[in-house]
């Protein structure tokens, strides 16, 4: 059937077409998240859209961010797989660090992401951007880094075995610790690789973090520390023990016993404080001459000093240690204390501070003695700081303790300690500054021992 329109009807129809809004021109890939040129098996696609003056820039940035978000989600899934594959202990600090680093391995933008297409919807002034990440290309680049990193770990492991056979325990364990730390770093990259690759990256089981940790424990458990001299001796406080403390350190390597060479041995009191140290020689012998001090007590534990292994292996270090019995006898000297400060409260605080510190060091305080500890207390000009509800005064101070031999009128030595007090009044800040001085430590012990020389 033919329909003829009059001139007036034709004009009206054209007018309707002219004012009708255009249909939105959203590209199909922005709605489906798919594109025939970039199949899902090979690519991860990201969609972004933007409006306004920087619509194009915004759309591209959001498209890249979309891909980064998808990759991060895949990485989180791979963290669990890696934990199972390498038998990682979720309660260990190293695993927590691995999770944190893996979560941040992908930023808002990935360098391998390309913007492959853009489109503009003129009716809404909206720009759309399509980003694509070639999974195989990206994972292949990461695999090259993994091959290199695992190769370095393997070399460190092999070198550790050679060093252990030579009795160079410290260097051997250091290599294993470095290999394990390097592998933990690699696992972060491996999580990213496995999130994109068709197959996970697998290394030798002996190079896994748990396997390397077992190697470290096995090495430490093969160590034997035996007492060779200095056990069951007495020493007067401030004087050297009559004999040095001597140990011999050996390790079982296959069916052989080898001396451990160049290893640091520390001697610890019952509180875990270090009182002395020695280095093993070619025969595995370590010698430590030590002064009898109040903090030594009646027991000294000799153990390997390997700070690089961390607290995770402390039980293995303790298992190979040995304990010396000893006794610290009272010293032949005592000290008097002289404090001359105007403020009675500050004077009392300083006298109590010095008296308690000297007593903890194992010496006596008496009213009259040949050796006097003269206490000098100097303060700097106070300053004030205003807070929301009050004004506080800050008083810096310097405490000097001088050891004086009254028979010869000589100063044998001195130590200085600085402090700072804060209070609402100047007197209060001064008192706080005096009470905040720290005197306990090796410097005080060395000063008091000068009275023995």
**CA–CA gap between residue 431 and residue 361 (Å, rounded):** 24
CA-wise closest residue to 379 among 429, 450, 327: 429
- Residues counted in the chain: 453
Chain centre distance of CA 320:
26
In this prediction the pTM is 0.67
Low-confidence ranges of the chain (pLDDT < 50): 1-3, 11-23
At 8 the pLDDT is 57
Cβ atoms 397, 437 nearer than 8 A: yes
Write phi, then psi, for 309 (nearest 5 degrees).
Answer: -80, -20
Which contiguous run of DSSP H or E holds residue 257?
Answer: strand 256-259
pLDDT at residue number 6: 58
Q: State the pairing for strand pair 364-365/334-339.
A: parallel
By C-alpha distance, which of 197, 203, 158 is closest to 184?
Answer: 203
Structural domains present in the chain? 35-221 (no CATH), 224-329 (2.60.40.1930), 334-445 (3.30.160.150)
Backbone angles phi, psi at 52, to 5 degrees: 90, -165
pLDDT for the residue numbered 30: 92
Residue 34: HSE in the Cβ half-sphere, 13 Å Cα cutoff? 5
| pLDDT number for residue 152 | 95
Long-range contacts of 350-353 (CB under 8 A, 24+ apart): 350/375, 350/377, 350/399, 350/434, 350/437, 351/375, 353/434, 353/435, 353/437, 353/439
Instruction: Determine the pLDDT at residue 108.
Output: 65
Neighbouring residues of 7: CB distance < 8 A, sequence distance ≥ 6: none
205 DSSP 8-state letter: G
Give the contacts of 3 (CB within 8 A, at least 6 positions apart): none
| 235: its two tokens | 């020493």
Residue 369 phi/psi, 5-degree rounding, is: -155, 155
What's the pLDDT score for residue 21? Answer: 43
Task: Give the Å distances, CA to CA, from 49 to 1, 71, 131.
Answer: 47, 20, 11
- Predicted pLDDT at 15: 45
């Amino acid at each position: 059937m033919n329909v003829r329109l009059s001139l007036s009807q034709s004009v009206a129809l054209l007018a309707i077409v002219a004012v009708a809004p255009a249909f939105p021109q959203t590209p199909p890939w922005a709605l489906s998240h798919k594109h025939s040129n970039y199949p899902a098996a090979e690519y991860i696609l990201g969609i972004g859209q933007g409006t306004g003056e920087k619509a194009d820039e915004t759309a591209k940035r959001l498209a890249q961010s979309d891909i980064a978000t998808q990759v991060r989600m895949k990485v989180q899934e791979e963290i669990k797989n890696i934990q199972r594959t390498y038998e990682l202990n979720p309660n260990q600090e190293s695993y927590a660090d691995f999770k944190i680093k893996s979560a941040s391995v992908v930023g808002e933008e990935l360098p391998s992401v390309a913007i492959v297409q853009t489109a503009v919807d003129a009716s809404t002034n909206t720009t759309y951007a399509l980003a694509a990440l070639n999974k195989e290309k990206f994972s292949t680049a990461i695999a090259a880094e993994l091959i290199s990193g695992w190769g370095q770990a393997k070399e460190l492991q092999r070198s550790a075995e050679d060093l252990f056979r030579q009795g160079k325990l410290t260097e051997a364990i250091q290599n294993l610790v470095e290999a394990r730390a390097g592998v933990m770093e690699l696992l972060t990259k491996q999580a990213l690789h496995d999130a994109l690759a068709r197959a996970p990256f697998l290394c030798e089981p002996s190079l896994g973090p748990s396997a390397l940790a077992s190697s470290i424990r096995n090495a430490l458990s093969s160590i034997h520390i035996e007492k060779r001299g200095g056990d069951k001796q007495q020493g007067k406080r401030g004087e050297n023990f009559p004999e040095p403390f001597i140990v011999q350190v050996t390790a079982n390597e296959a069916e052989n016993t080898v001396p451990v060479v160049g290893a640091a041995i520390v001697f610890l009191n019952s509180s875990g404080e270090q009182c002395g140290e020695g280095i093993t020689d070619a025969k595995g012998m370590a010698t430590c001459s030590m002064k009898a001090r109040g903090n030594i007590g009646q027991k000294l534990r000799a153990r390997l000093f390997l700070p690089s292994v961390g607290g995770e292996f402390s039980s293995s270090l303790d298992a190979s240690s040995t304990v010396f019995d000893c006794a610290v006898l009272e010293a032949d000297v005592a000290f008097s204390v002289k404090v001359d400060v105007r403020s009675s409260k500050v004077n009392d605080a300083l006298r109590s501070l010095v008296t308690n510190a000297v007593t903890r060091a194992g010496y006596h305080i008496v009213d009259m003695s040949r050796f006097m500890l003269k206490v000098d207390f100097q303060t700097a000009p106070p300053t004030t700081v205003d807070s929301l509800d009050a004004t506080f005064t800050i008083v810096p101070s310097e405490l000097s303790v001088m050891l004086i031999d009254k028979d010869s009128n000589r100063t044998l030595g001195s130590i200085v300690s600085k402090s700072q007090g804060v209070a609402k009044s100047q007197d209060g800040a001064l008192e706080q500054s005096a009470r905040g001085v720290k005197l306990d430590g090796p410097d005080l012990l060395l000063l008091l021992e000068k009275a023995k020389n």
